[in-house]
Structure formats: structure tokens, C-alpha cells
Structure 1
């Protein structure tokens, strides 16, 4: 090893890596590691904007500029493909700007501390600033401290924040407030901060305490009923990039299947006739209601695609398929797609490793990867998302 090592890439967990494989925390490509272990900043090393970095687990890569963060995303995807013996054309990542996260889960305790957990710890970073949360969400941190002090929870709380059409939707897990004083405090808190909804869940399902009008989230131009703590793409910018990629794959086709459809992020953004399958009962019922009210030709089915994936015969009815599974991927559904005659697929993934595994199965069944569009919507995070176009060879 030379006296001075240069960082050449960033590893999956965010450490800088030298040419000889040495891992150096909080180093960026182009940094020089001096003999004593100090880091001499290179052209891609930026000053982290947040005072809580690196203790806060919300971010791992604030020391990288956008160019090196983009390269990190590309490397993650290409490395995942390489483990399966695959290659593909990978486009430039679409990066969400700072302060655009519209959903997040914070943690809180009776002392009033509220924030993300520390990296590799359950300790809470008491947020004094945040450069990833949308301003509407961060504005609630201080008022929430006061409310939690009134509620006096006996254990750590999970605080789910979502920016809906009507304002911020709040769900607090771990406490069920009782008594007049708590009820008055919740009402004052909701009114004073113009919240869309406040709900609590102590383990038996959400109980709504404040919702002056039905809460919705607009997807594809359609207001969709929003169950508490529902899944949404983390930023509007990230959602737009993924939707654009999916539309590029399937627009112009006949009947399209949207698998793991959720609330309808893709189903409601696509033209033509859509079949949508989703295991979450509340989500698929919300999509069904929204499609009916907006006169969209979306046919919904409450279906667990892990237990009962669409068969090759069922898949053959569609001109194209959209699939957006959870982090575990869709191994069984990929096997069925490999055996189907469906000509086109848009695969949306939040885990390059499970994506590469599933796609390898499909490539062995006669598919090819046309292109991959990476999306970085978890700003300064090691979390990587993508949309890919696949077609029959």
C-alpha cells in the first residue's frame, strides 16, 4: 500500500473504498487517505449540510456531491446485475432535490425527543433541522414534542408523517390517548397545525381522532382515498420519474396488468384498460373507489401475488405488465413471467439485488433488459430505486 491512498468508489453501505479494497468511512471518490488516517477532501467531497450528520440514520451520504451520489447509484445497480451475470444499458439517475420527502417515519419518546434513529442504534437524534423532509413535515417536529409531553407515552412511539392533498396526515403508533385533557390537546394540535388527519394505533389498527374531510392523495390526476400510513413513493419527483419510465414501456399497448398496484400510482397514470392486483385490502379498495369515481377503466382484484401469482396463461392475456414488488422482489411471479408469452414488462424496484435475481430468471426464459432508469428519491441515502424495460427476445 502506498503512503497515500485515493478513494475510487463508494461501497454499498456508504464507505469510501481505495483501489486495494480498504474501506474508509465518510470518504468520497477522489479523496486522499493520508498515512495517519486523515482524509484530504477531493473534488467530490462536499461539506455535509446538516448538523446531525453522520449521527442521524436518515442520511448516509451527505458528504458526496450529486455526481458521486449518481455514480454510487449506478454502481449499486451494475454490481447487482453482475452478480447474476447480467449487463444492461443504465441511464443517468433521476435525483430528488433536498427537502422533498413527503412521507417519513420518525421516532419519539416521553422526554420529547423526536427524530430518526442514530445510525446502527435505537437512540433517537433529536431533530433541530432536516434537509430531506419536506418543510410541511419538518414544521410539525416542535409541535409534536409538546403533544407527546401531554400524552406521556410509556414506550417509544413511531410517528408516521405523510403529505396528503389536504395537508399532513399523522399516525402515531404505540399509544392510545384517553381522557378529556388528551382529547382537547389533540384537537388543538390538529387545528393549530391545520392537519389533514390524526390517528393513533396501539396495535389493534388505527383509530382516527381528527379528519375534518376525507383524506386523499392525487395519483395520475385522480384523488385516491388514503388509508393511514399507506405506501407512497417518497417524493413527487421520484414518483414522476418512475411513472414516466413505466409509461414509456407500456403506452400504446392494449390491456396492461399492474401487479402489486398499491393505491394506483401506475394504474391511474396509464391510458387504456388496466388490470390491477394488490394484496393490501384497504389499498385496492381505495383504488377501486377512485377509478370508479373518475370513470377510469381499471379492473381491480384483491390478490396476494406471493401466495397466488398470476399464471403464465393469465399473463398471456396482457399486452404488457407493470410490476412493483416490495424489497423482497417477486420470485414466484418472475418465474411465471419467464414462462409466459407477454411481450413487454416494466419492472419497478426498490432493491437492485432482488431485481437482478428476478430478471435473471426472466432472461433465462427468453427476456432481455432494454434499459434501466435509476431513481434516487431517498436523498443522501444508500437506498436505490429503478424502473426497467424488458421485452421478449
Structure 2
């Protein structure tokens, strides 16, 4: 009989791996993988805290204890560095967001046979898992799920009947994307793919917003978000500034994760007088850096985010100049970058190949690179190293607890 093999590490997609290269889903380091594929739990394997784990595609790593989870997050960042031979001088212990701290969620809602299901897709499937609990999300978001199901059912019944394939009149099938974000005023709820039908539907939405004290309720039936309810302007706190929050805007998924990223940037850029903040969004880093005395150019392509940053800057009277510019199509050129002591960039998952090329050709000698994708980061980082930068420090951040999604913040200095 073949001896069981020990799980040595967790691969990038969450599977456990043995020395011989066998993979096992749901494994933890130290588990024993038997010939028939069954697992014998080791001392790093814990009982997953969520009843939906294994079906819901939102989490892949709930079986890991805290040490193994931290090791996975650190390895995702360090392996990206090693793969490109970046020679990181220091890799710090990772920051992990605690359970129940995720303040932003994108869910799917669909009706079937008179029921409404709200949740995430099953792993490798289009089927929805009806969320009855979620230890990742902030409690303020979870508590809305059941009332929201009832609201969507009521709205479906209020919708006009439509003729089906066999000529019978029936209720139309409902499908919508749900976006929930914790803002300063409470929960900002956006429903995409659905509109309130008639007076009954509109009143139901307003009653729901009032009863649950929503910060804002918006709906998008295909022509952009329309505000149904917003008692006062919705804002998020960035640094010491309340910044307008346009519907659907990007926000770091946990507050503590945002603070970990911002803290690194503030530390590494302390005393720097001029900074170009590229892919700046609402100004997460711009407001923090301006608050410690730097003059900041905040460059963002999304018009709503750019205008929100600009208006908050004008009210706060901070040394930030907000620029509306698509850095993929029109990156800041080397002669423009030469005016700054440092560059901070936080691009989307695809990275910033063209913009990094311009940074490499500039005279900038300090770069802080924030990334949500270690793979694209390592490619861009290799170009910086080729241009004479060295990777001084790398800090992994696990904001998406129990998932394989890992972020990082890094410091490059030109030699």
C-alpha cells in the first residue's frame, strides 16, 4: 500500500501540493494526502468557519490556520520577487485583515421559481450560493441580505406580467448585481440591472432605505446609476478628509488593509516634497501624503473619482493638484516625471507597463508601487530594476481574507 504524501505548501490557486507534485483542494500544510485522494488533517488544518465553504467561490483558504494563511500571503509576494530575480532586500511579515472587516462587496441576485437568491457564484460554476452567513463581510452588510431578498421578491411581484415562450403571461425573471459599501453615513447600496417598476416599486425601495437607514440607494437599469435615496451627501474618510463617494467607486476592501498600505507609503515618502500619485482614484494616498506636507499630483482616468478628489481637495485646501488623464493611453512622460522627487502608483490588476517604462527613463529616484496582482507587479518591477532601481522593501497585505487574492506595497530606490 502506498504511503500517504504530506502537503508541503499551498499553490497560488489555493490547492495543496506534495513533493511529487500531487494537488489537493482544501488541504493545509502538514495534511497527509492518501492514494485515494482523501486527506488526513494535520496540525495546520482548522475547521472552516463558514457553512458555505467548499461551495461558495468567494473563499478558498478557510481550512488554514493563522500561521499558514500568513505564510501563503507572504509566499505569493516573495515568489513573485524571486521569479523575476528582483533581489528584495527586506520582506516584512504580512498584514492580514481580521474576519468581519470587509466593507465592500459585489454580489449577484437572481430569481427562480418565486425565490430570490443573493450570493456568490459556486466555484467553477454559474450557480449561485445563497448566503446565509459570511464571516468575511462586515456585519452591517450581512444583516441586509435577508431583508434585501424580501424586497426583491416584492419588486418582482410588482413588475408587470410578460408573455412567455408558450404565450402564457408570467413574471419576468429577475437578475441583478448588488454592490454594498460601508461609507461614513452607513451602507451605500447599489442595484445594477433592475429598476423600480411604477409607484409601488418606488415606494417599496424608499421604505426599505428608510427602515434600514441606508446612506444611499441607487439603481442602474442600464443607463447609469440613478439615486433613489440619499438623505445627505455620501462620503468616505481618506486621511483627515471626507471625500465624495460616487456610486460604484473603488475603495480598498478593508479599512485596516488601507491603513497598512497608506502607512507604508507615508513612512517611505516622509520628507519628500513632491509626489506624483498615479492611478490615484479618490485620493487614498494623495490625501495621506499631502497631510504630511508633500505637494501631490493626483492623476486618475475615472472622471467621477477625479472630480470627487478635486472637490475634496478644494474644500480642504490641501496641496493636491487633481489631473484627469488616462495613464494607459497617455502615461506621464519622463520629462513630466522629472519634476517630482518620488512616484507612487497603484494601477489595476493589469499593471502599468507603459507608465513604468516612462518612470524607468526619468530621473525619479524613489518609487512606491502598490499592487493587487503580484504577477503584473513583478513584470513591472523587473523593468525598474533593469533601469537601476533596487527593491528595498516588500510588504504583503492580505485584505481578502481566506482568498488567494494578495496585495502588496513596495519601495524602489534608484542606485
TM-score, normalized by length of structure 2?
A: 0.93
Structure 2 partner of 1:157: 176
The yes-or-no answer on 1:118 pairing with 2:122 is: yes
The yes-or-no answer on 1:307 pairing with 2:293 is: no
Higher Cα radius of gyration:
2
Aligned match of 1:344 in 359, 363, 366? Answer: 366
Give the unaligned 5+ runs of structure 2.
157-171
How far did 1:2 drift? 5.4
Deviations 1:347-391 (A, max 9, x none): 000000000000101111111100101100101000000000011
Q: State how far apart, in whole Å, the 2-side matches of 1:353 and 1:200 are.
A: 35
Aligned residue runs from structure 1 range 194-343, under 5 A: 194-270=213-289, 271=292, 272-343=294-365
Deviations 1:19-75 (A, max 9, x none): 111101111001111233221111111100000001111111000111111111122
Question: Is this contact kept in 1: 2:175–2:194, CA < 8 A?
Answer: no
3-state SS of paired residue (1:67): helix
Question: Is this contact kept in 2: 1:284–1:300, CA < 8 A?
Answer: yes
Deviations 1:215-247 (A, max 9, x none): 000101100000011100000010000000111
Structure 1 partner of 2:162: none
Aligned residue runs from structure 1 range 1-393, under 5 A: 3-88=3-88, 89-110=90-111, 111-152=115-156, 154-270=173-289, 271=292, 272-393=294-415
Aligned length: 393
Give the unaligned 5+ runs of structure 1.
none
How far did 1:187 drift? 0.8
Q: State how far apart, in whole Å, the 2-side matches of 1:229 and 1:154 are.
A: 24
Q: State how far apart, in whole Å, the 1-side matches of 2:85 and 2:118 are.
A: 44
The runs of at least 4 consecutive aligned structure 1 residues that moved more than 3 Å come to none
Question: Is this contact kept in 1: 2:365–2:413, CA < 8 A?
Answer: yes
Deviations 1:105-136 (A, max 9, x none): 01111221111111111211111111000000
Select between 47-56 and 83-92 the one with higher mean Cα deviation: 83-92
TM-score, normalized by length of structure 1?
A: 0.98
Question: Is this contact kept in 2: 1:7–1:33, CA < 8 A?
Answer: yes
